[in-house]
Amino acid sequence: MNRMEAQPPHPTHKEGVREGYVLIDQYGPDILGALQSQSQKYWKSAHVTAKPVTTGEVVVTKLRDGTEETKRVAEVDGWKVTHALGEETFQTNAEFNKRYIPVDGAENEYKSNGKVYVHAIKNPHPDQKVAIKASWGDFEYGDADCYFVDTYTAETNEPENQPYIIGREEFETYYSAE
């Protein structure tokens, strides 16, 4: 291996990263840089169901295959969002209201309001399971075929600059390319 090549650090159990995952910096050029310069734009096309949660509730995100992707403690009141393949995520009231509107005639069902979209890239480390330190403070995990995404506001076309991971099957089910 060329010593000049940047390599992601190999985590230790002490750092809290699961065995078999490589901790990477999502703010570096291979993730955030690529999201800003080499990614494609996608709109969420799948509906979700949602219910209110209160401060302190823990929402564990598990993919359909049973992989625990992350967990998030509700730091404020918000929403437990259940996506089409069954995984649950926590969103603050502000995050939820920025993304969704009710589906007419359907109880607890919501759809994209068209105010946000994502840019996405496939994991640039296709031979490695990856982990990142998510913006909410916990680790987030992705298989070798996962996607990295960043949310953009449609009105301004400005990114949040907070890359996160979505499993491949979930991403390909929920999002449509522009």
How many Å apart are CA 129 and CA 135, to the nearest integer? 19
Structure tokens given for 174: 């929920």
- Residue 108 and residue 49 in contact, taking contact as beta carbons nearer than 8 Å: yes
How many Å apart are CA 153 and CA 55, to the nearest integer? 26
Q: How many distinct structural domains can be found in the chain? A: 1
- Residue 151 and residue 165 in contact, taking contact as beta carbons nearer than 8 Å: no
Judge whether residue 4 has pLDDT over 90: no
- Summarize pLDDT for 86-110 with one digit per residue, the tens: 999 999 999 999 999 999 999 999 9
Judge whether residue 13 has pLDDT over 80: no
Three-state DSSP class for 14? helix
Q: What is the residue range of 25's domain?
A: 16-177
Judge whether residue 11 has pLDDT over 70: no
Confidence band of 178 (pLDDT split at 50, 70, 90): confident
Task: List the beta bridge partners of residue 21.
Answer: 129
The bridge status of strand 21-23 relative to strand 129-133 is parallel
Domain-located, residue 103: yes
Confidence band of 48 (pLDDT split at 50, 70, 90): very high
Mean pLDDT rounded to a whole number for the chain: 91
Q: How much is the pLDDT for 16?
A: 85
- Summarize pLDDT for 153-164 with one digit per residue, the tens: 999 999 999 999
Query: What percentage of the chain exceeds 90 in pLDDT?
Result: 86
Domain-located, residue 79: yes
Domain-located, residue 171: yes
How many Å apart are CA 81 and CA 45, to the nearest integer? 15
Rounded to an integer, the average pLDDT of 120-147 is: 95
Task: List the beta bridge partners of residue 43.
Answer: 176
The one-letter amino acid code at 67 reads T
Structure tokens given for 56: 């302190």
How many Å apart are CA 168 and CA 148, to the nearest integer? 10
Domain-located, residue 133: yes
Rounded to an integer, the average pLDDT of 28-49 is: 96
